[in-house]
Chains A and B, each alone.
Chain A
């Protein structure tokens, strides 16, 4: 299923622990992210999937400290390579952003400033973190210029000499700061150099998305978060852009969190998948396991809901009702829609149960004391 099987090293680069995010509303707080914890390993691609409104984007923005009011972080810890993000001061956070944690935004169509050239939007992020590139390079260019400029040789045609002199001068004066570096970035994400001087409205959707990717990796951050980076594109471009994302990621060796609801696309590019439901991670596992052997009832329904081009089948996940996010049900969050729910589910909230290596699931069925119930339930499914 997955073309990449390099789940990276075991070094944890991002550790989210017990993160809780609320949105304040007049009728009470909406629990968008409810005490979730996960780790991201170096060089790994983690997929975060779930329905709309399940809190996957809010999780991403929480990690980036970009939760917009009325949202706020209630408690939790976000550690990037040992640095606690929540403890940073405003200025520290500003410097931390993009150099360690970068974002490939959801709406790439509108994520570029319409009144700035593409080059300037990449230059500004480089310069605000690495200082002005202009002055240094002008000195260097002057050095090069002085080295190259020479007196005319004897019997040399004047035209040739003046031509060379003017060429040197134009290099000195017309130098674009960071041009080579941005060209390299363009090449990495498969963009033509000609867009260097263009405005965002002159680019296609796929190109804008690539600009965002190029921008996201420009400073070689530790973790890149792609927030539904491809959902606005058509399937072909989607696949190509997603592939570009993974290639760039492998090339510069960052860790990647891909947020999306397209299970098929995610299967192609991620190493591990975390399935979210109503602000909680219900199952987290290597991608092969999730698709071949989904454990949590929600994951099973979710994978069952992927449209097949071979057969038409009814959607099963509509059964049951979604709860009020201000007032979640007791016990298991999914019990109102779960086909296997029984009275114990309302009593106790399931904890993360490690079923096998790196495969965790939050469901009472996988508690050892309910093993019989599990085998009965799954047998019933297999028979139907």
Chain B
């Protein structure tokens, strides 16, 4: 395996922090581009509901002062950045006074677990199927069955989710229809029963993601495998009289998987975004559901916080893939020297 050069690590880390800074700044700017401000909007909503709010101007001024909205924009920006560095994401407005970081901290592990395991499954299955589709020695039957398994690829994940809930949750009733674990557990605990319950509940949401995703990876892998098959070293591998299975994994898959890894790094953002809807369908208590409720309740702080954390998570995943890339492709590490 290749070696990580210091230069490479430093450059990847710089890109990572740059991404975070740009994301944080955008999250700061975008709400401020909209006309009005959250306090006025909130009071306006209150007065709509109650008909009249006493001393509305005073309330607005007071809260503006309290949240520092009267300060110049750069002061607000610096304060916001300083808070972010301390992982202080503010208080959730709709669920006052829970801090956003606490809500996120409760939801994040579930999403990471769900998306992480789903990713692992569809990446493995997709690439394996793709490799088998392209391999000349694959049995005919397998080559017919694999494309048939990919019919789900063309439907959006939320429809796949609904379909799975309907078939397995409602008609067959073998998998639970909602939540991340059984309601008999009041809070997460570290027992075998609980883990079994989590796996049981997580199966359908994970399948919803896997079913609609793995086809793309299989097709991508197939394309790469076909390209690799035309390489000069494949002819030599054949001439060398190596065992076919060894050639498959050491010469073909090993080289074809490299662009797939790059594609995975690029697609992680989309993946997390897509899982939001799946989580909502299954009422899974992860980041997706949290964002969904935050948007419904117009909780600006929570929207900002969850968006930022999702960006951090995605960027971190990309960083990990980037850093592991030189380990799987020996040619990359030279780049930085």
Contacts and interface: CB of A to CB of B under 8 A. Distances in A.
Interface of A: 64, 66, 68, 93-99, 102-103, 105-107, 109-116, 124-125, 128-129, 199, 201-202, 212, 215
Contacts of A103: 235-236, 239
Interface in B224-246: 231-233, 235-244, 246
Contacts of B68: none
A125 B242 contact: yes
B330 interface: yes
Given A64-B239, A94-B241, A102-B239, A128 B246 contact: yes
B323 to A, nearest CB: 18
Main secondary structure of the interface of B (DSSP, over half): helix
Interface string B304-334: 0000000000000000000000001111001
A113 B251 contact: yes
Given A95-B241, A128-B246, 16 more contacts: A94-B244, A97-B241, A98-B240, A105-B239, A106-B232, A111-B235, A113-B250, A113-B255, A116-B251, A116-B254, A124-B242, A128-B242, A199-B2, A199-B331, A202-B334, A215-B240
Closest 10 A/B residue pairs (Cβ): A97-B241, A110-B232, A103-B239, A107-B232, A111-B232, A199-B330, A125-B240, A94-B241, A98-B241, A111-B236
Contact of B235 (A68, A99, A124, A201): A68
Interface string B250-286: 1100110010000000000000000000000000000
A111 B241 contact: no
A96 B241 contact: yes
A92 to B, nearest CB: 10
Given A114-B330, A201-B330, A201-B334, A105 B236 contact: yes
Contacts of B331: 114, 199, 201
Contact of B241 (A68, A115, A129): A129
Contacts of A125: 240-242
B252 to A, nearest CB: 10
Interface residues of B, number: 25
Contacts of A128: 240-243, 246
Contacts of B242: 94, 124-125, 128
Contacts of B328: 115
Nearest to B331: A201
A106 B239 CA distance: 13
A103 B239 CA distance: 7
Contacts of B244: 94
Given A66-B235, A105-B232, A105-B235, A114 B240 contact: no
Of A68, A103, A114, most B-chain CB atoms within 10 Å: A114
B27 to A, nearest CB: 40
B233 A111 contact: yes
Nearest to A124: B242
Contacts of A129: 241
A68 B234 CA distance: 11
A116 B251 CA distance: 8
Nearest to B328: A115
Contacts of B258: 115
Contact of A112 (B233, B250, B329): B233
A169 B113 CA distance: 44
A100 to B, nearest CB: 10
Contacts of B239: 64, 66, 97-98, 102-103, 105
B246 to A, nearest CB: 7
B229 to A, nearest CB: 9
A94 B244 CA distance: 9
A222 to B, nearest CB: 14
A102 B239 CA distance: 7
Nearest to B257: A115
Contacts of B251: 113, 116
Contacts of B250: 113, 116, 124
A110 B231 contact: yes
A96 B244 CA distance: 14
A226 B334 CA distance: 32
A13 B278 CA distance: 68
18 contacts: A94-B241, A96-B241, A97-B238, A98-B240, A98-B241, A105-B232, A111-B236, A112-B233, A112-B236, A113-B233, A113-B237, A113-B255, A114-B330, A116-B251, A125-B242, A128-B241, A202-B334, A212-B236
B14 to A, nearest CB: 26
Contacts of A99: 241
Contact of B330 (A95, A105, A115): A115
Contacts of A93: 241
B247 to A, nearest CB: 9
A274 B42 CA distance: 92
Nearest to B251: A113
A110 B233 contact: yes
A110 B236 CA distance: 10
Given A199-B330, A201-B330, A97 B233 contact: no
A66 B254 CA distance: 22
A96 B240 CA distance: 9
Interface string B149-173: 0000000000000000000000000
A97 B241 CA distance: 5
Contacts of A96: 241
Nearest to A109: B232
Nearest to B231: A110
A202 B332 CA distance: 12
A97 B236 CA distance: 11
Contacts of B246: 124, 128
Interface in B1-19: 2
Contacts of A106: 232
Contacts of B237: 113
B39 to A, nearest CB: 58
Of A68, A114, A115, A201, most B-chain CB atoms within 10 Å: A115
